[in-house]
Structure 1
Amino acid sequence: MTAASRGAAIGGSYDPAHTTGGGLSGELARLEAQAELSFAEELHVLRGLGIDTAATVLELGAGPGAVTRRLRAALPGAELIAVDIDPELLAHAEGAADRLIVADAAALPLPDHSVDFVLLRYVLQHVARPEQVLTEVLRVLRPGGVVAVTDVDDGCWGTAHPSYPELAGVHARMAAAQAAAGGDRSIVRRLPALLASAGFDRPVLRPFATTNADHPTEAFAPHLGPQRLEPLVASGDLGLRELALAADRWKRFRTDPLAWVMLLGFTVAATAPAGRGPRKNHRTEGAPS
């Protein structure tokens, strides 16, 4: 499956070969840098949600395994299953999990009630019909199991000083392009209702913050740098002048000794209700045990 067909298959907005200006290799580097920047804070939240006591952890949308490898180090006693629809991406996660499975998150080849904890990290913002994924997650979770969805909300992404109001239109173009492709960069505000509608109990929201008091300013390039905008020029959604403006403001920011940035992330979690029997009319034959 090509990167382009991958995006079409899930009906969403993520195309790894065209997410940064560096193609697939650039995206692999971006995902690794993103995980390095914030996973410690994310793991603190996940531990508060009980991931340390899970015997089986399922990571959906694992991609090349940047987070999978960190989960393996943090949870050495758990069975770790990594799933992604893109075999080319998932091949880079070889050795990071007990099982690597190429599958659509909305049609998992796993038995009912077979995992204890499911993590979706920056996945649902790209999925056109997230309710289908959450319904499937509920099916594979054991009663009392937890789903944790870590994602973004453009309306409360964080704060930076100095700020550049002239970039507001540029960032709006990126959000609009993602929405046109079936994504939603404000998915977090919808997640509690989506989880409840899918049948989960007790949705809770847990924010986390990452600042350049703890990381070099340059480490925030995956989020604040202009490389994410370069594919929008190729697609016609952004002009070269706007890209140059973003590049200039990022250069100013990262070289300013007084610059400060705080990025906010959010994990919305919920519990699979107790007392559920296996769902009827769902194919589980041949699913791995």
Structure 2
Amino acid sequence: MSSTTTTTTSATTTARAAGSYDPARTTSGGLAGELARLETQAELSFPEELRLLRELGVTGTGGPLIEVGAGSGAVTRRLRAALPELPLIAVDIDGDLLAHADGAGAELVTADAAALPMETGSAGYVLLRYVVQHLSDPLPALAEARRVLRPGGRILVTEVDASCWGLADPWYPELAGVHAKLSASQESAGGDRTVGRRLTRLLAAAGFDDIALRPFATTSDGRPMEDFAPHLGPGRLQPLVASGALTLAEFALAADRWNRFKADPEAWVMLLGFTAAGTAP
């Protein structure tokens, strides 16, 4: 399938301002750094995420699958490889970011998650991966997903919860305040890194049936610790220094502890995520 781009009349600037995700200010290195982070993130956890998608009802037929918040297409490309016959529509509010998904084997659509330019009852699946944590009110986006799904269609929402997202050994208690500032910064921009605990209730409020929640874990067993740098390394904190939310001393502390962690042959980490699913009535 060739990639095409459709631009809707959604107020992209306004909608972006309503969320907490800015690809140019998420990690060090600006947009280029974020593109690299998204690719590394997908490479790290997609096998486990795909296992759950299949367990929760996604097959190679019955599409299309609408991936809302597809961003650079890091997951889109992996979905295409895993499900080669399933029609894919990759949606993102940021057309410039979505342009990097060209060639991913999906139709590219620039649109707000709460105002999708698809006909009612036209989709078999809707996937929101690490999207609802950035929305001040996820219900309009979830209601819109329900609208475009045909009866019996499945919604899949993959998220984290900051309270149990990363388990590390050794653990450095002096970093608790630093990590709390990352969550606080996202919250101040309208996001919620503890949304994982509310996924099933959000799907119920949006009118979905047959709701299920499944965890998935990615660990450093058999993986080099550097693979976890996009999540645990100081690069995620550097934009907080630029904004004044984090001091240089706090950043230096985080960088030092990350270097210690990498150098420890006994260091171990587990990243825990959740996928919630529901059925459109």
TM-score normalised over the length of structure 2? 0.93
Please state how far the C-alpha of 1:256 moved relative to its aligned partner. 0.9
Which runs of 5 or more residues in structure 1 are unaligned?
Answer: 274-289
Residue in 1 aligned with 2:243? 235
Q: Secondary structure at the match of 1:269?
A: strand
Paired residues in the alignment total 270
Do the aligned residues in 1 keep the contact of 2:76 with 2:106 (CA within 8 Å)?
no
Question: Deviation per CA, 1:240-286, whole angstroms, max 9, x where unpaired?
Answer: 0000000001101111111111110110111111xxxxxxxxxxxxx
Please state how far the C-alpha of 1:56 moved relative to its aligned partner. 1.2
Alignment of 1:113 with 2:121, yes or no, is: yes
Residue in 2 aligned with 1:217? 225
CA distance, structure 2, for counterparts of residue 98 and residue 28 of structure 1:
18
CA distance, structure 2, for counterparts of residue 12 and residue 125 of structure 1:
9
Q: Secondary structure at the match of 1:214?
A: coil
Following TM superposition, where does structure 1 have runs of at least 4 consecutive aligned residues deviating by more than 6 angstroms?
none
Matched to 2:15, the amino acid is A
Aligned counterpart for 1:102 among listed residues 110, 117, 120: 110
Residue in 2 aligned with 1:24? 31
Question: Deviation per CA, 1:24-54, whole angstroms, max 9, x where unpaired?
Answer: 0000000000000000010000010121143
Residue in 1 aligned with 2:4? none
Residue in 1 aligned with 2:205? 197
Alignment of 1:156 with 2:164, yes or no, is: yes
Please state how far the C-alpha of 1:63 moved relative to its aligned partner. 0.4
CA distance, structure 2, for counterparts of residue 46 and residue 7 of structure 1:
31
| Identical residues among aligned pairs (%) | 65
Aligned counterpart for 1:9 among listed residues 11, 15, 21: 15
Do the aligned residues in 2 keep the contact of 1:138 with 1:200 (CA within 8 Å)?
yes
Residue in 2 aligned with 1:88? 96
CA distance, structure 2, for counterparts of residue 7 and residue 36 of structure 1:
30
CA distance, structure 1, for counterparts of residue 99 and residue 160 of structure 2:
26
Residue in 2 aligned with 1:166? 174
Matched to 1:38, the amino acid is S
Which runs of 5 or more residues in structure 2 are unaligned?
Answer: 1-6
Do the aligned residues in 1 keep the contact of 2:159 with 2:195 (CA within 8 Å)?
yes
Alignment of 1:39 with 2:15, yes or no, is: no
Q: Secondary structure at the match of 1:250?
A: helix
CA distance, structure 2, for counterparts of residue 186 and residue 8 of structure 1:
24
Do the aligned residues in 2 keep the contact of 1:6 with 1:15 (CA within 8 Å)?
no
TM-score normalised over the length of structure 1? 0.91
Residue in 1 aligned with 2:134? 126
Task: After superposing the two structures, state which structure 1 stretch, 6-15 or 155-164, moved more.
Answer: 6-15
